[in-house]
């Protein structure tokens, strides 16, 4: 029968009570790998959420533009832009300032998620009686694949909004 010395008992006691460095590193590697998989799978959801938020902003702007059209019988010109929705001094016709019912939006200088101003064009390139409204998307450049428009959002969400900005 083998007898253990006091030091041998201490060493074997430590080993049984804790984890080795290799065991800790293996567990850490597994946790990091799982975290990477989860983060990789959540990224598309984040982008979808950002796009939906921008579409909601576009719908809010559409409502404000329609209210402006009801008050003035027209949409803002290219020169006035959407800034006229919160700043009546931008009205081209000074006589119309009295008709301006105040701010059509709660926020001034509204921008998309990426800090870019929304694009506005009147008349529209497709219909002279309405306007085009869009976000230039993540890259901030007009006419690229990541642009977001109301027409896109209504088609993707299954809504039939008719002509964008037709006032009714």
b or e along 7-46 (b: 16 or more beta carbons within 10 Å of the residue's beta carbon)? eeeeeeeeeeeeeeeeeeeeeeeeeeeeeeeeeeeeeeee
**Per-residue confidence (pLDDT) for residue 161, from 0 to 100:** 41
Q: Supply the CATH classification number for the domain 6-156.
A: 3.30.700.10
| 3-state SS class at 81 | coil
* CA–CA–CA angle 90, 111, 154 (5° rounding): 105
Question: Mean pLDDT in the chain?
Answer: 79
Tens-place pLDDT, residues 98-131:
777 777 887 787 888 888 999 999 988 888 888 9
CB 76 within 8 A of CB 65: yes
pTM: 0.63
Residues 6+ apart with CB under 8 A from 150: 55, 58, 59, 62, 133, 134, 161, 164
Q: What is the pLDDT of residue 157?
A: 46
Residue 14 tokens read as: 């430590």
Report the candidate in 98, 105, 102 with the shortest Cα–Cα distance to residue 120.
105
Residue 1 predicted with pLDDT over 60: no
- CA separation for the pair 130, 22 (Å, rounded): 68
pLDDT score for 104:
83
CA distance 39 to 47: 13
Give the residue, 41 or 138, on which the prediction is more confident.
138
Is the per-residue pLDDT at 83 higher than 50? Answer: yes
Q: Please determine, for residue 134, whether its predicted confidence score (pLDDT) is greater than 90.
A: yes
Residue 95 has pLDDT above 80, yes or no: no
Secondary element (H or E) of residue 33: helix 21-72
Per-domain residue ranges of the chain: 6-156
Concatenating the DSSP letter of every residue in 89-108 gives GG-SSGGGGGT--S-SSSSS
Residue 94 — very low, low, confident or very high, per pLDDT cuts 50/70/90? confident
pLDDT, tens digit, 9 for 90 and up, residues 12-55 = 555 556 889 898 889 999 999 988 888 877 777 777 888 888 99
* Helical spans, DSSP H, in 73-156: 150-156
């Amino acid at each position: 029968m083998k007898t253990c010395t006091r030091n041998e008992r201490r060493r074997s006691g430590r080993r049984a009570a804790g984890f080795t460095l290799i065991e800790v590193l293996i567990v850490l590697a597994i946790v990091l790998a799982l975290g990477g998989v989860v983060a990789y799978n959540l990224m598309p959801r984040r982008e979808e959420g950002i796009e939906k938020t921008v579409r909601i902003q576009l719908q809010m702007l559409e409502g404000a533009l329609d209210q402006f059209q009801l008050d003035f019988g027209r949409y803002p010109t290219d020169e006035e832009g959407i800034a006229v929705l919160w700043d009546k001094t931008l009205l081209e016709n000074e006589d119309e300032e009295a008709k301006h019912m105040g701010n059509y939006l709660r926020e001034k200088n509204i921008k998309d998620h990426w800090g870019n101003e929304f694009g506005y064009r009147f008349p529209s390139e497709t219909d002279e009686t309405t306007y085009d409204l869009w976000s230039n998307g993540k890259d901030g450049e007009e006419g690229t694949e990541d642009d977001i428009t109301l027409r896109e959002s209504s088609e993707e969400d299954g809504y039939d909004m008719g002509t964008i900005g037709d006032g009714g």
